[in-house]
Structure 1
Amino acid sequence: MIRSDRDGDVLTLTIDRADKANSLTADMLATLADHVEMVDDTTALLILTGAGDKVFSAGADLGEARAGLATSPLWERLSGAIAAIPCLSVAALNGTLAGGAFGMALACDIRLSVPGASFFYPVAKLGYLPQPSDPARLARLVGPARAKLILAAGARLSAQEALAFGLVDRVTDDPLAAARDLAVGQAAHVAAIKAMVP
């Protein structure tokens, strides 16, 4: 349910469970983390995307969330691995981003979204806390007040609102193609430039 495709120095990981809104199971999270942790200096660009044209990911699979996945350390393992890789990382958001799936998108360097996507992280409404590193990453992108609006008040954003907030970097009809267009530098140069940007 996680597809891995390599084209030269570009690695694309696709959440492929469109019939279930690309919701994530523990096995899928572990597989994603395994792939990201294996990224080496031959990779210039990592792209995360989802199957279908509606939802990037609805977060945790509901059945597994009730069984403990909502508070699993796997979410933090995945986002930490994404944040640590030397290559450029891009979330190509083919649709709505919700719940725990926020973590992997927040950990990416760049977020590209389709116009019809919406964004919400309803942890407070569901009785959970966000994953430990998500609030700080979100606040760095959108500011503390807007981070509280999203996390504590459960605000739902449109793609245009997310763009205006700074949560999304570009809105485009084909975020996967736009992400692939970013593969312009050699892996070593990309890593060096990324390391220069605080």
Structure 2
Amino acid sequence: MSEQDCEVRAGGDIIFRVADGAAILQLNRPAKRNALSQAMWEAICAALAEAADRPDVRAFVFTGLPGVFCAGADLTALKSGDREAAARYREISLRGYAAVRDFSLPTVAVIDGLCIGGGNNLALACDIRLASPRASFAIPAVRHGIVYDRPTVTRLVELMGSGRASHLLFTAGRIDAARAAETGLVDILTEDLDAELADFLDALRAADMPTLLAIRDTIRQVR
């Protein structure tokens, strides 16, 4: 693939491009508030693999739509009664979270509006979470009979502490952006997500990449 910006669509639900050293994946399923389907997870994994092979990529960015990052998993497969379909969805979603966590370069979630369930898990898998004041967060798994995977719960506890993580998981309650920033779920709360992201990507472009990646590896070792 050339060094030019590129765009790849998967059923209109994912927009993926590489621009100025950043791989940017936008969730684009407005009719379902960006609920993650199996096809979307497959596209996410493919985009991560493509970005990992590109020497011009220094970071991977996840974004949503204005007012909604992601309303969670598409529960159609999980509630259809088709056990095989449910198992396939769970397998691809777990593989997707792992692919984000294990991606070789810095990962960022840019959150404007709803960030619920599986969307929250996707953001948790990233290194850094930027959010606007209208972002809100919830994990309603307890209402849907879904037991979360250990890596996701571990990350939530790392960021929020066991008590706050337990409260969020046990109650399925929603917290606003200010509370999320106060408790560690959000790293940067900003009125201007575009400017904050641009500043971050500028800093990455100015960094010595081997040094940055060594620092990132050390951070991950001491979590």
- Both structures adopt the same fold (TM-score exceeding 0.5): yes
SS at match of 1:12: strand
| 1:30 counterpart (42, 46, 70) | 42
Displacement of 1:176 in angstroms is 3.9
What is the CA RMSD across the aligned residues, in angstroms? 1.9
SS at match of 2:150: coil
Higher relative contact order, structure no. (Cα contacts within 8 Å, ≥ 6 residues apart): 1
Other-structure match for 1:98: 116
Other-structure match for 1:109: 127
8 Å Cα contact 2:18-2:57 kept in structure 1: no
| 1:21 counterpart (33, 39, 44) | 33
The answer to whether 1:54 aligns with 2:67 is yes
Other-structure match for 1:192: 214
SS at match of 1:92: strand
CA distance in 2, matches of 1:114, 1:70: 33
8 Å Cα contact 1:26-1:69 kept in structure 2: no
* Aligned residues between the structures: 197
Q: 1:91 to 1:25 in 2, by over 3 A?
A: same
CA distance in 2, matches of 1:173, 1:65: 36
TM-score, with length taken from structure 1: 0.91
What aligned pairs does 1:173-188 form with structure 2 within 5 A after superposition?
173-183=191-201, 184-186=203-205, 187-188=209-210
TM-score, with length taken from structure 2: 0.81
| 1:140 counterpart (136, 158, 183) | 158
Other-structure match for 2:178: 160
**Higher mean C-alpha deviation, range 81-90 or range 157-166:** 81-90
Which amino acid is 1:195 matched to? D
What aligned pairs does 1:58-77 form with structure 2 within 5 A after superposition?
58-67=71-80, 68=86, 72-77=90-95
8 Å Cα contact 2:67-2:114 kept in structure 1: yes
Other-structure match for 1:124: 142
Displacement of 1:192 in angstroms is 2.6
The answer to whether 1:6 aligns with 2:18 is yes
CA distance in 1, matches of 2:87, 2:31: 20
SS at match of 2:156: helix
**Higher mean C-alpha deviation, range 178-187 or range 132-141:** 178-187
8 Å Cα contact 1:57-1:98 kept in structure 2: yes
**Higher mean C-alpha deviation, range 149-158 or range 63-72:** 63-72
| Structure 1 residues not aligned, in runs of 5+ | none
CA distance in 2, matches of 1:36, 1:13: 9
| Structure 2 residues not aligned, in runs of 5+ | 1-12, 81-85
Give me the identity figure in percent.
29
8 Å Cα contact 2:14-2:26 kept in structure 1: yes
The answer to whether 1:172 aligns with 2:190 is yes
Displacement of 1:69 in angstroms is 7.0
**Higher mean C-alpha deviation, range 127-136 or range 97-106:** 127-136
Displacement of 1:171 in angstroms is 1.2
Which amino acid is 1:24 matched to? L
Which amino acid is 1:32 matched to? I
8 Å Cα contact 1:123-1:151 kept in structure 2: yes
Structure whose CA Rg is larger:
2
Displacement of 1:42 in angstroms is 3.7
Q: 1:195 to 1:154 in 2, by over 3 A?
A: same
